[in-house]
Amino acid sequence: MFAALVGGKAYPISSEFWRQLLELPLTQQWPRDRVLQACHAFAQNNCHTKHLAKILIHLVWCLQECTTDSSVSNAAYRKAINAAYISSIFLKFIIENAKTDNWQELSLDIDKDEKGLETFPSEQSVEYFLMRGILNYIGSVDVSPESCYLHHELLNMMLVLMSTQLCSGPSPEPKDVHPFLDAAMLQDSSTVSSVVQKLLLNFVKRPRIPLNGSHPAFSDDGGPGVLQRVGSAAANFVLLPYYTFNYLVSSNAEGASSQLADNSLLVLLILIHYRKCIMVNESIPSSNVYTSDLNTNVKDAPAFHDNPYYKALNNAKDSQYDRADVEGNAQNGLVVRLSFASLFDALGTCLKDESSVLLLYSLVHGNCDFQEYVLVRTDLDTLLMPILEMLYNASRKTSNQIYMLLIVLLILSQDSTFNASVHKLVLPSVPWYHERLMHQTSLGSLMVVILIRTIKYNLSKLRDVYLHTNCLAILANMAPHVHRLSAYASQRLVSLFDMLSRKYTKLAELKNDKVIKVISDQIEADSISDDTSTELHIYTDFLRIVLEIINAILTYALPRNPEVVYAILHRQEVFQPFKNHPRFNELLENIYTVLDFFNSRMDMQQLDGEWSVDKVLEVINKNCRSWRGEGMKMFTQLRFTYEQESHPEEFFIPYAWRVALSRGFSFNPGAINLFPVEIHVDDEPSGEQKV
């Protein structure tokens, strides 16, 4: 049967051959070279047999059978699963090895007058018909013990269909063709909404694939069960592990149960971040197909079609919020509705995965209702503790993951209620923080400690200015609302100033060093001088922001923060070198007003014996209550807001695919143009070089 499928003889779409092929129980294993041989033969003959288009049409017919029937037979499930499975193998091989930009090798143009295609919609392309069938099934059929394997297979197939993106460059261009993704963007709004809702619900509910795996779709007698097929016997016609997915079926029940959720999320992320360029001379399409989003604010910026999946996610509403929808979007059920409480809890549980972090970013940045929901939750630690723990382990995370986490915190810190709330929430302990025991510390104090730790890690390892600025921006947004900052967090804040000031002083000395002037090669001297000037300028800005943070605490929140006063009194010598510095003196005036006030109160104390920490704090606490802020200069509060870069697609499209590849989706590295890939010859399977 498979020899006939990959051979040179074309079977009509109405032939009995297709029914017989799809009803086969797939149980035999093929060696790698034989699978490659079959893939080559299929790719070579498909241009005249059109077998790929035919099996894809049969897949949609099988899905329609599985959707319309009230009780779906095992044979119907088996046919649909096999059609999705077999076509994915050949699709993936052709996509990985295509030579043309417009995917002619897929040969999806089929003679619609052929016998058996009387019911095929004449105005639709095969790719549109396919995507409508798959997306309609995913969006309308609930995941159940019977349907979960078919859902699983279709989500894997979606990744294959969308993987044409991996072969394009990092910036979307008008010439880019992604037949299946483009067809997905053209689906009607009710299908789009139901797909986004179902993918989110899969992520939230994390449906389990039954581990006993005795689904009758795979054999007439109920055995040997899906585990064998999805695990080892999946290799029946598949090149493992290279040409198909690493099906995640392990002895770990939790790992196995979440793959449907994981793949739902990956498919959603790739769908929402897709961007289709509008041709320069292309007429703006009608609203029932694609609406246009012309980014005219940036000269010569590419214009993109609206992405309906992105819009659907951004307009998602909380199902527990019953009031009539004021915008009138609720007619025809076109708005995605789900429980924000369940989504919030699921995100809190899964944030160790990069894909979940990217979803959290997409929701907090794009969906105003969800952002508001997060900000009014009283248990912010559900979301913030996993974020802070990941930042604590920054050395084990990718820089992109750290960016996403910091941007989420920056967006949340733009809200004054959030900044006040984090200081009121007291944590009994922080078990993952190893440098010191933290008992009864506020979530706000922990945030300050972790952000400063991230800055210090960045200074020593990554040296990334953007990351640095984000951390300081969050601290600056929090500063006026700081409430009873812990002793440890207060010490870290002053030590951050000390560390940055040492770096600044060293750079300033290097710049002024007369040795540079006598270097014989003047060009090199100039370049050293330029580099030093740039770095010095950056550190000047950093120091100013830290001083503004300390200023904001002392100006707006001093009576509530005796530990901050103690920390600057204890380390007051670190501010001395900058007291008369033209770039910093204005920002140090308030710090010295506070130092003078408390130093004088200390001097007035008649003390028996030595000063102890408790005695100093007692004096500070007493005088905090009488502090009136006299002589303090009021500066404009520093407020940082997050704005997406002008070309976010250049970051998010490659990032979504990097995450997919890291989660087990494999693709020929030599075919990837979306981002740089290291190709290790040793890692390639035998025979791969010939492909």
In tens, the pLDDT along 537-565 reads: 888 889 999 999 999 999 998 899 999 99
Whether cis (ω within 30° of 0) applies to the bond prior to 174 is: no
pLDDT of amino acid 233: 33
| pLDDT over threshold 90, residue 532 | no
**Burial (CB count within 10 angstroms: exposed 0-12, middle 13-18, buried 19+), residue 13:** buried
Structural domain contains residue 476: yes
* 607 & 665 share domain: no
Counting every residue written for the chain, the total comes to 691
Question: CA dist 27 to 38, 169, 219, 231, Å?
Answer: 17, 39, 9, 12
Beta strand residue intervals within 336-449, DSSP E:
337-338, 426-429, 439-442
CA 501, 502, 508, 511: dihedral to nearest 10 degrees?
-140
DSSP letters of 445-474?
HHHHHHHHHHHHHIIIII--HHHHHHHHHH
Q: pLDDT tens digits for 54-89?
A: 999 999 999 999 987 677 888 888 899 999 989 998
CA atoms within 13 A on the CB side of 36: 14
- Residue 11: how many other CB atoms lie within 10 Å: 17
Do residues 617 and 140 lie in contact, with contact meaning Cβ atoms separated by under 8 Å? no
* 558 & 661 share domain: no
Q: What domain range includes position 95?
A: 1-217+239-246+257-266+650-671
**Mean pLDDT of all residues belonging to the chain:** 82
Number of structural domains, the chain?
A: 2
Considering the chain, what percentage of its residues have pLDDT values greater than 70? 82
Place of tokens 């940045």: 365
| pLDDT over threshold 80, residue 28 | no
pLDDT of amino acid 680: 58
pLDDT of amino acid 646: 82
> Could you tell me the two tokens for 620?
């500070």
Structural domain contains residue 51: yes
* 116 & 72 share domain: yes
Structural domain contains residue 353: yes
* 261 & 353 share domain: no
**Cβ within 8 Å of residue 637, ≥6 positions away:** 480, 552, 556
Alpha-carbon span 655 to 530, nearest angstrom = 33
* 466 & 417 share domain: yes
* 666 & 580 share domain: no
Do residues 476 and 552 lie in contact, with contact meaning Cβ atoms separated by under 8 Å? yes
Structural domain contains residue 57: yes
Q: Which range among 202-216, 276-290, 415-429 has the greatest average pLDDT?
A: 415-429
Lowest mean pLDDT among 152-156, 329-333, 584-588: 329-333
> Could you tell me the two tokens for 387?
């974020």
| pLDDT over threshold 90, residue 36 | no
Q: Which residue has the higher pLDDT, 47 or 221?
A: 47
Q: For the residues 178-205, what does the mean pLDDT come to?
A: 95
* 385 & 481 share domain: yes
Structural domain contains residue 680: no
Do residues 422 and 442 lie in contact, with contact meaning Cβ atoms separated by under 8 Å? yes
Task: Name the pLDDT band for 253 (thresholds 50, 70, 90).
Answer: very low
Do residues 37 and 71 lie in contact, with contact meaning Cβ atoms separated by under 8 Å? no
Q: pLDDT tens digits for 362-395?
A: 999 999 999 999 999 989 999 999 999 999 998 8
* 569 & 667 share domain: no
Lowest mean pLDDT among 109-113, 509-513, 518-522, 611-615: 518-522
Which DSSP symbol is given to 676?
-
Q: For the residues 256-262, what does the mean pLDDT come to?
A: 74
pLDDT of amino acid 529: 58
Q: pLDDT tens digits for 320-360?
A: 875 545 444 444 457 999 999 999 999 999 998 899 999 99
Structural domain contains residue 636: no
In whole angstroms, what separates CA 569 from the centre of its chain? 43
Q: pLDDT tens digits for 452-468?
A: 999 988 887 767 888 88
Q: For the residues 146-175, what does the mean pLDDT come to?
A: 91
pLDDT of amino acid 113: 80
pLDDT of amino acid 628: 84
Task: Name the pLDDT band for 217 (thresholds 50, 70, 90).
Answer: very low
3-state helix, strand, coil in the chain (%, to 5): 60, 0, 35
Alpha-carbon span 496 to 269, nearest angstrom = 37
* 662 & 598 share domain: no
* 658 & 600 share domain: no
Question: CA dist 41 to 93, 113, 418, Å?
Answer: 11, 27, 61
Q: Which residue has the higher pLDDT, 608 or 648?
A: 648
> Could you tell me the two tokens for 155?
């989500």
Structural domain contains residue 457: yes
Q: pLDDT tens digits for 264-312?
A: 999 999 999 999 888 765 554 444 333 334 343 444 556 888 999 999 9
Task: Name the pLDDT band for 607 (thresholds 50, 70, 90).
Answer: low
| pTM of the full structure | 0.87
pLDDT of amino acid 237: 37
CA 159, 160, 161, 164 torsion-angle sign: positive
| pLDDT over threshold 50, residue 687 | no
Alpha-carbon span 404 to 206, nearest angstrom = 23
Q: pLDDT tens digits for 166-183?
A: 999 888 888 889 999 999
Q: For the residues 492-520, what does the mean pLDDT come to?
A: 79
> Could you tell me the two tokens for 372?
């508001």
Alpha-carbon span 226 to 150, nearest angstrom = 12
Q: pLDDT tens digits for 434-456?
A: 988 989 999 999 999 999 999 98
Alpha-carbon span 317 to 367, nearest angstrom = 9
Structural domain contains residue 109: yes
| pLDDT over threshold 50, residue 240 | no
Task: Name the pLDDT band for 622 (thresholds 50, 70, 90).
Answer: confident
* 587 & 657 share domain: no
Do residues 80 and 65 lie in contact, with contact meaning Cβ atoms separated by under 8 Å? yes
* 621 & 663 share domain: no
- Residue 89: how many other CB atoms lie within 10 Å: 19
> Could you tell me the two tokens for 223?
């055995």
Q: For the residues 1-9, what does the mean pLDDT come to?
A: 91
Alpha-carbon span 239 to 36, nearest angstrom = 7
Do residues 139 and 200 lie in contact, with contact meaning Cβ atoms separated by under 8 Å? no
Considering the chain, what percentage of its residues have pLDDT values greater than 90? 51
Task: Name the pLDDT band for 29 (thresholds 50, 70, 90).
Answer: low
